[in-house]
Amino acid sequence: MAARNTARKRAFQILFEGDQRGVDVLTVLADWIRHSRTDTRQPPVSEYTMQLVEGYAKKVNRIDELISQYAVGWTLDRMPVVDRNILRLGTYELIWVDETPDAVVLDEAVQLAKEFSTDDSPAFVNGLLGRLKELKPSLRREEA
């Protein structure tokens, strides 16, 4: 499971970099893959990291809609960039990656918030993803 944890962390870093640079995440992903192939100091980009980033890229508009709709008191552009991208990754994995248990998605997102964001962020991330977890069956029906 440590490999999945690392893959999630790298996917978050790619989403964060794309957001900060104003560049499409697939471009950032391609850069990371190219660097890992040409620089032995760079770790390889795992299949799961690629799956998360590519999946997110396909659903980006819907993911941002969901976060905007359920983030009480926060607009997407006012959210700390770290939290916004943890939520984006967590929302994608929670709603569209069936092989990952919901509890794991929430726990991993909270851990990323603890590691990379503010003291208030883990509770915020947990609360919003918890709400989406409750709504997951109806959200999935909407997608069908």
Cβ-count burial of 26 within 10 angstroms (0-12 exposed, 13-18 middle, 19+ buried)?
A: middle
Q: Which region holds residue 128: left if phi is over 0, alpha if psi is between -120 and 50, else beta?
A: alpha
What is the average pLDDT value for the chain, to the nearest integer? 95
Question: What one-character-per-residue DSSP string does 14-78 give?
Answer: HHHHHHHHT--HHHHHHHHHHHHHH-TTSPPPPHHHHHHHHHHHHHHHHHHHHHHHH-TT--GGG
Q: What is the pLDDT of residues 30-54, one digit of tens each?
A: 999 999 999 999 999 999 999 999 9
Q: What is the pTM of this model?
A: 0.95
Q: Around Cβ 68, how many Cβ atoms within 10 Å?
A: 13
The model's confidence at residue 118, banded by pLDDT at 50, 70 and 90, is: very high
